[in-house]
A = this chain, B = another copy of it.
Amino acid sequence: MARVSSLLSFSLTLLIFFHGYAAQQAQQAQQAQQGQQFPNECQLDQLNALEPSHVLKSEAGRIEVWDHHAPQLRCSGVSFARYIIESKGLYLPSFFNTAKLSFVAKGRGLMGKVIPGCAETFQDSSEFQPRGGEQFEGQGEEGQGQGQGERQRFRDMHQKVEHIRSGDTIATTPGVAQWFYNDGQQPLVIVSVFDLASHQNQLDRNPRPFYLAGNNPQGQVWLQGREQQPQKNIFNGFEPEVIAQALKINLQTAQKLQNQEDNRGNIVRVEGPFGVIRPPLRGQRPQEGDDDDEGRHGRHGNGLEETICSARSTDNLDDPSRTDVYKPQLGYISILNSYDLPILRFIRLSALRGSIRQNAMVLPQWNANANAILYVTDGEAQIQIVNDNGNRVFDGQVSQGQLIAIPQGFSVVKRATSNRFQWVEFKTNANAQINTLAGRTSVLRGLPLEVITNGFQISPEEARRVKFNTLETTLTHSSGPASYERPRVAAA
């Protein structure tokens, strides 16, 4: 009987335990249901400075991926990655399901994109005598037929290759293959934001790289719910016979294109010279006396290609001559939107580059029509961010290599705490609007005194100070006198 009792008691214990467990499940299911009906992705009570969560190591570099499931990135609808390409490293061509905006944080190199339907405008002209495209095809055939290059008239032809350097901001549309090569001595560091929420991404809200060459032995570790398996290139998915037929090559070469034995990852080391055709660097240009602007963007066209194929997709945000806010004592801010770079209208992203000195402050502001992703390229800053409930959801230090998302409407103030604080902000709108809380173009300045006196229960005199004391528009000193009593002259 004792045994019966103890069994029963065990059975009841199980039941009770189980009931609690099931109740918890019930609650979770209910939450899931509510959540499903109305995801509160932006119920953000705390933000964090984020660092990469996954590192994909390659032969000549690494790709660091931020977890796009982090609440603040989920709210912002983007994902983020950093590419570190060592000297002589080649990031093999890949494309994404999303629009992408990249910023060259460090180093220099070469970049190529292959835009479908555009001509191979870069040709080795020293060896090639143009006689029209169709004829060229025949020549290739003929030349190769006579002993593999003996009388060969050209070495290669391909689409545009551009020099890139620190400060370059590069727009890439979905589905367009892109490669990078580090031809400098230092690592080439590129950070990229991927707009998952835009309708240009027609898949789900995950960043999905498609590899043309190379592979990723670690798999797409950033994807939840996918059983991890090594990620291969596209050719790997086709039968070698199909590749051979499509490319008119032998089976052996077709198999090589699948990179199956390859463990180098997606950034490989180039042995020997990397002899792609490239325009001269700025300043190295031969004296042809032609249009400087054309040279700057590496366009070699004949008028016919001056269409979508030659549409500019790169601009340099560190170019001092294009600065939008410039105060020698404090720093500068440069903005890149679709007025500067029309392709941004298409990809619905824009960028802001900032650089401030110690103790300079970016006046408090909010993004009216965009989420912002702030990435620190140098130094560190003290940042405060305030959400819709008036709560400070971030109050801390962000430093080089960290990222913080600033959702639409959230107010932010930045103060440099190192000798120089430099950052780039990616915004999810081709023409992101900033509203400032202080300064000559601020919201307070636009309000009547009566709204301010009544809203804050302060005297007209105090309201005048609140409205008119700060004459700067964006940047100010963060270490002014502790107390101000009257308006002052603008520093700039």
Contact = CB atoms under 8 A, between A and B. Distances in A.
A257 B456 contact: yes
Q: Which of A144, A389, A407 has the most CB of B within 10 A?
A: A389
Nearest to A158: B448
Contacts of A279: none
A469 B248 contact: yes
A433 interface: yes
Copies of the chain in the assembly: 3
A433 B176 CA distance: 10
Nearest to A241: B482
A283 to B, nearest CB: 23
A341 interface: no
A187 to B, nearest CB: 18
Given A32-B32, A204-B41, A231-B390, A90 B364 contact: no
Contact of A392 (B237, B249, B366, B409): B237
Interface string A385-405: 111111111010000000000
B388 A220 contact: yes
B175 A95 contact: no
A50 interface: no
A38 B464 CA distance: 49
Nearest to A224: B34
Interface in A51-110: 69, 74-77, 90, 92-93, 95-97
A95 to B, nearest CB: 7
Contacts of A344: none
Nearest to A29: B29
Given A15-B18, A256-B457, A465 B248 contact: yes
Contact of A247 (B97, B161, B389, B438): B438
Interface in A458-485: 458, 461-462, 464-466, 468-471, 476-480, 482-485
Interface in A1-49: 1, 4-5, 7-8, 11-12, 14-15, 18-19, 21-22, 25-26, 28-43
Interface stretch (A207-215, A292-300, A313-321): A207-215
B202 A369 contact: yes
Contacts of A448: 112, 122, 156, 158, 161, 276-277
B443 A208 contact: no
Interface stretch (A162-170, A267-275, A416-424): A267-275
Interface stretch (A133-141, A326-334, A350-358): A133-141
Contacts of A229: 389, 391
Q: Which of A407, A446, A464 has the most CB of B within 10 A?
A: A446
Nearest to A438: B246
Contacts of A454: 90, 92, 268, 270, 274
A114 interface: yes
Q: Which of A122, A148, A234, A466 has the most CB of B within 10 A?
A: A234
Nearest 3 A/B pairs, CB to CB = A175-B368, A237-B386, A232-B390
27 contacts: A4-B8, A14-B19, A28-B30, A28-B33, A29-B29, A29-B32, A36-B36, A37-B39, A40-B225, A41-B203, A42-B208, A114-B435, A116-B434, A116-B441, A141-B489, A144-B464, A210-B388, A220-B388, A231-B389, A231-B390, A238-B386, A238-B411, A242-B415, A244-B484, A247-B466, A248-B476, A253-B465
Given A92-B451, A144-B487, A246-B439, 6 more contacts: A90-B451, A141-B488, A148-B486, A174-B369, A211-B390, A244-B483
